[in-house]
């Protein structure tokens, strides 16, 4: 069996990955070794089969014995361990959910329902670093893969509505704390005049005691139109990833222009995007829907009605599922070939854990052949 070292399996993305691997029976076909950065020697997780005790995630000698290393430990771990491991001459497959190696010339960003041919070609050419992509980029490509496949995308602008979970577990907990603080302030006067309730809520959100250590600002009852670090051109790095990673995933010789504004909103899980696409041809809505629906097994076209939108096109409906609904599809009044749509996806699944899980299975299959 292929020996697979798994690092970072306790964190948010790692926990989702483990859940998916258990559900899909992925552990049956591999020889897993679990690594830790803090609890070496302790018992590993229950995966339904006997496994060794936890190994030291910084022990290069032990990591060298793995055919595949799959990590959700984060970029700091990758930057510290990956070069040391490669410097030993290790030729194994490195699969990573973190961003550190995404734009490296020697890596491929993986999203196999969209770029399986790129993955296969790279693997056959000797590439061994396979990296999960940015969450909003991956979800956008899952939603619009059919339009890209048809060569219909001239340019895209995406306005994102990104959940607290995209910032990490501490941020999710802070959002809940913010919700609690707002409720505590409003509940005693909820039966009174709405103006008093509104004032109490705003004063609470602006108060020094309101929990903002992680976000730096109120998110519950508000939003934050800034994600990641600034770029010289006025974008944030999160916004830059749209054009950089999309074109790398698709291996485009001529880059497709992509830009937009990334906004953090007060949802726990699932990123949403309002997308404007300039098509190369003036396709009717029915043809756009057909192309979108034909791309993969998970995209779902939602009819442009209030009832269907409220039922299927919200983070509440999508959380914990692999479905990527696309709705509100219509032509814009800007001119021929302009369409708009709205899409939602669970960024902890297709935006993080699922692409690396599927890449693990691809790598195991190739190494076992």
Q: How far apart are CA 35 and CA 30, in angstroms?
A: 15
pLDDT score for 192: 95
Residue % of the chain over a pLDDT of 70: 100
Beta strand 2-7 with 30-36: parallel, antiparallel or unpaired? parallel
pLDDT score for 228: 97
8 Å CB contact between 93 and 67: yes
CA distance readout (Å), 17 to 53, 58, 268, 301, 362: 20, 21, 18, 26, 15
Given pLDDT bands bounded at 50, 70 and 90, which one contains residue 136? very high
Residues marked as catalytic: 135, 271
Residues 142-171 have a mean pLDDT of: 97
pLDDT score for 304: 98
The pTM assigned to this predicted structure is: 0.96
Given pLDDT bands bounded at 50, 70 and 90, which one contains residue 185? very high
8 Å CB contact between 152 and 266: no
| pLDDT tens per residue across span 264-320 | 999 999 999 999 999 999 999 999 999 999 999 999 999 999 999 999 999 999 999
- Collapsing DSSP to helix, strand or coil, 83 comes out as helix
Torsion of CA 57, 59, 65, 69, to 10 degrees: 30
Strand ranges for 138-231 from DSSP E = 153-162, 223-224
Radius of gyration from C-alpha coordinates of the chain: 22
Q: Which tokens is 368 given?
A: 């076992």
Q: How far apart are CA 154 and CA 258, in angstroms?
A: 9
What mean pLDDT, rounded, does the chain reach? 97
CA neighbours closer than 13 Å in the CB half-sphere of residue 60: 12
Strand arrangement of the beta sheet that strand 2-7 belongs to? 55-56, 30-36, 2-7, 68-71, 93-96, 129-132, 107-110
The residues that bridge with 108 in the sheet, in sequence order, are 130
| pLDDT tens per residue across span 51-108 | 999 999 999 999 999 999 999 999 999 999 999 999 999 999 999 999 999 999 999 9
Q: Which tokens is 76 given?
A: 């700091």
DSSP state of 280: S
Q: How far apart are CA 211 and CA 221, in angstroms?
A: 13
Buried b (16+ CB within 10 A) or exposed e, 233-260: eebbebbbbbbbbbbbbbeeeeeeebeb
| pLDDT tens per residue across span 311-360 | 999 999 999 999 999 999 999 999 999 999 999 999 999 999 999 999 99
Angle between helices 354-368 and 12-24 (to 10 degrees): 50
8 Å CB contact between 229 and 236: yes
CA angle (93, 67, 353) in 5-degree steps:
55
pLDDT score for 50: 94
Q: Which tokens is 364 given?
A: 């195991």
- Collapsing DSSP to helix, strand or coil, 263 comes out as strand
Cβ-based neighbour number of residue 21 at 10 Å: 22
**DSSP secondary structure of 221-251:** TSEE---S-B-TTS-BHHHHHHHHHHHHHTT
Residues in contact with 190: Cβ distance below 8 Å, sequence separation at least 6, in sequence order: 197
pLDDT score for 61: 97
Q: How far apart are CA 150 and CA 75, in angstroms?
A: 35
């Amino acid at each position: 069996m292929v020996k697979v070292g798994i690092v970072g399996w306790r964190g948010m993305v790692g926990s989702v990955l483990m859940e998916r691997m258990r559900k899909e029976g992925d552990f049956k076909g591999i020889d897993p070794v679990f690594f830790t950065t803090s609890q070496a020697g302790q018992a590993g997780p229950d995966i339904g089969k006997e496994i060794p005790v936890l190994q030291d995630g910084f022990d290069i000698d032990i990591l060298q014995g793995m055919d595949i290393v799959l990590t959700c430990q984060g970029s700091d771990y990758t930057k510290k361990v990956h070069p040391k491991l490669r410097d030993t001459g290790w030729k194994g497959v490195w699969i990573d959910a973190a961003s550190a190696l995404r734009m490296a010339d020697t890596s491929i960003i993986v999203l196999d329902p969209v770029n399986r041919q790129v993955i296969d070609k790279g693997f056959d050419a000797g590439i061994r670093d396979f990296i999960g992509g940015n969450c909003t980029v991956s979800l956008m490509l899952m939603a619009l893969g059919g339009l890209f496949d048809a060569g219909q995308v001239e340019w895209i602008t995406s306005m994102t509505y990104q959940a607290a979970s995209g910032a990490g577990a501490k941020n999710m907990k802070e959002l809940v704390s913010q919700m609690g603080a707002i409720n505590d302030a409003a509940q005693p006067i909820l039966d009174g005049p709405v103006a008093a309730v509104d004032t109490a809520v705003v004063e609470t959100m602006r108060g020094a005691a309101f929990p903002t250590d992680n976000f730096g600002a109120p998110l519950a009852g508000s939003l934050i139109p800034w994600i990641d670090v600034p770029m010289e051109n006025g974008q944030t790095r999160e916004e830059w990833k749209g054009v950089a990673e999309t074109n790398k995933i698709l291996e485009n010789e001529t880059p497709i222009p992509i830009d937009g504004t990334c906004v953090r909103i007060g949802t726990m899980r699932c990123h949403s995007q309002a997308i404007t696409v300039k098509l190369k041809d003036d396709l009717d809505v029915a043809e756009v829907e057909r192309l979108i629906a034909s791309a993969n097994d998970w995209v779902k076209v939602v009819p442009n009605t209030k009832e269907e939108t409220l039922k299927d096109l919200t983070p509440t409906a999508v959380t914990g599922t692999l479905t990527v609904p696309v709705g509100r599809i219509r032509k814009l009044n800007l001119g021929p070939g302009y369409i708009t749509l709205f899409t939602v996806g669970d960024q902890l699944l297709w935006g993080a854990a699922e692409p690396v899980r599927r890449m693990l299975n691809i790598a195991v299959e190739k190494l076992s052949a």
